[in-house]
Amino acid sequence: MATIRLEGLSVFGHHGARPYEKEAGQRLEVDLELESLDDRAERSDRLGDAVDYDRLYQTVREVVEGKSYHLLEALAAATADAVLERFAVGRVKVRISKQNLGWTTGGRAVIEVVRERRA
C-alpha cells in the first residue's frame, strides 16, 4: 500500500495553555503521514481512487482553525480523528510543530499522534 505524506502545512490557530497564546494565535506546522487501505489508486492511476490532498489540507485547516485547544496533544488527536473519519485510510500520523515558545534559546515543541482504523 502507498504511504502518503503531506509535510510542512502552515496553519494558524489559537492554541496554548497560556492566555496570550490563545489571544494572539500562532503559526503551526503540520505533517501528515497516511497509509492507504488498498492499492486502487496505484493500479487505476485515477484521481477518484486516490486520497485528495486538497481535501486533506482543508481538513487540517478546519480542525486547527475551528476550535481552540490548550494542548498540542489534543489538537493532534482531533486532527488524526478527523482524517480517519473523512478518508479511506488505515493509519494516520499527525505531527504538529510549534516554534514560538518564548525561550531566548529558540527551539520548538513537536507532538506526534498516531491513529489506526479499527476493524
Residues taking part in catalysis: 98
Partner residues linked to 111 by β-bridges: 96
Q: What is the helix, strand, coil percentage profile of the chain, to 5?
A: 35, 35, 30
- For the chain, the distance separating the N- and C-terminal CA atoms, rounded to the nearest angstrom, is 17
Say if CB 6 and CB 31 are below 8 A apart: yes
CA distances from 6 to 45, 46, 60, 87, 92 (A): 19, 19, 11, 14, 11
**How far is Cα 48 from Cα 103, in angstroms, rounded to an integer?**
46
